Structure 1
Amino acid sequence: MGETRWLDDGEQQTWRAFLTAVNLLDGALDRQLRHDSGLPHAYYQILAMLSEAPGRELTMTRLARLLRSSPSRLSHAAARLEGEGMIRRFKRPDDRRTTIVEITPEGMKALESAAPGHVHEVRRVLFDTLSSEQVGQLREISESMLSALDPQGEEPRYPDPDGARYQD
């Protein structure tokens, strides 16, 4: 591994500011969603991923990968959402080992109701604080980090608004 390359003062400040911002961002989004719609951020993300998927359904395995979630954590969240009528889980007729999860009309209503407040909060705490140049830089920085974290591009990415949707 070689000699440790310690962070200099500027890098240390950048690292700590980044960590603090990411943690506060996640907390702010979760608080806003819980307050306005009763949905935790994690549940909102499940509904959003399903709403954007072909046929508004995905396998549990694919959904877990998209959300970077463990199967057990997703299963717990899915049970809660299913109990509230927001999603439905079922087996494929031709492959009983595969569980499909789809968003229900009630889930779409909940998502559509929660989305405006969520987008407002995302804008307030992220995009409204940045210039358009900084938004472009943030995307470039994020993509650079993804290149280092997933050099083979094996992890699924969010869909490109102008390109392909999720595939299963």
Structure 2
Amino acid sequence: MTTRWLTSEEQRAWRAYIAATHLLEDAIDRQLQQDAGMPHLYYSILANLSEAPDRQLRMTDLAEKSKITRSRLTYAVSRLEKDGLVRRENCKWDGRGSIAALTDEGMAVLERTAPGHVETVRASLFDHLSKEQVGQLEEIFAQVAGALAEGGSRPTPDEVPWRRRSTPPCS
């Protein structure tokens, strides 16, 4: 198999993407650590739960939404549960499964932290882009995410834990 090396333009774009994503993630993590004492991943888990019906999701579905492995999610939810922000419950539909539910305290943390989080995202990313560039950014990343979600690149869907088919939601 012949290596398809990046062109000079692709290499510059790739390195700019890597630099920007690392700096953006660092800015978001610093703000969330300062305001809520948690990393971006934990905030994202709380946000995903806040948007779900009854503020709860099956753990496998939460792992998929968060794009993390089940074991990493289990660790994160255990920490959030210890802090009283999330609680785990048995799934009524499937005795082997469990759900994560956002507590009232977890919702209060989100509500208190969200304004600073949004301001950090805006100041770190969107304030530097025109309206047209925001549309282009969405189009570019939607296309990339769609191709990756369909297994259009390595690894295949079967090799990535959060892409595995999950069982139906608890009822």
TM-score (ref. length: structure 2) = 0.85
* 2-structure distance, mates of 1:9, 1:150: 27
* 2-structure distance, mates of 1:109, 1:46: 14
Alignment-derived partner of residue 17 in structure 2: 18
Q: CA deviation at 1:82?
A: 0.6
* 2-structure distance, mates of 1:78, 1:147: 27
- In the alignment, residue 67 of structure 2 is paired with which amino acid? R
Q: Pairwise CA RMSD of aligned residues?
A: 1.9
Q: CA deviation at 1:149?
A: 1.2
Alignment-derived partner of residue 82 in structure 1: 81
* 1-structure distance, mates of 2:85, 2:92: 22
Q: What secondary structure does 2:5 align onto?
A: coil
Q: What secondary structure does 1:39 align onto?
A: coil
Q: CA deviation at 1:23?
A: 1.3
Alignment-derived partner of residue 132 in structure 2: 133
* 2-structure distance, mates of 1:118, 1:79: 23
Alignment-derived partner of residue 104 in structure 2: 105
* 2-structure distance, mates of 1:90, 1:57: 10
* 1-structure distance, mates of 2:36, 2:13: 34
**Structure 1 vs Structure 2: percent identity of aligned residues?**
51
- In the alignment, residue 125 of structure 2 is paired with which amino acid? L
Tell me whether 1:28 sits opposite 2:10 in the alignment: no
Q: What secondary structure does 1:101 align onto?
A: strand
* 2-structure distance, mates of 1:31, 1:112: 18
* 1-structure distance, mates of 2:135, 2:100: 34
After TM superposition, which residue ranges in structure 1, 4 or more long, deviate above 3 angstroms?
A: 152-156
* 2-structure distance, mates of 1:150, 1:32: 30
Task: Name the count of aligned residue pairs.
Answer: 157
Q: CA deviation at 1:147?
A: 2.9
Q: CA deviation at 1:72?
A: 1.1
Tell me whether 1:148 sits opposite 2:169 in the alignment: no
* More off after superposition, 115-124 vs 24-33: 24-33
Ranges in structure 2 where 5+ consecutive residues have no aligned partner: none
Ranges in structure 1 where 5+ consecutive residues have no aligned partner: 157-166
Alignment-derived partner of residue 95 in structure 1: 94
Alignment-derived partner of residue 60 in structure 1: 59
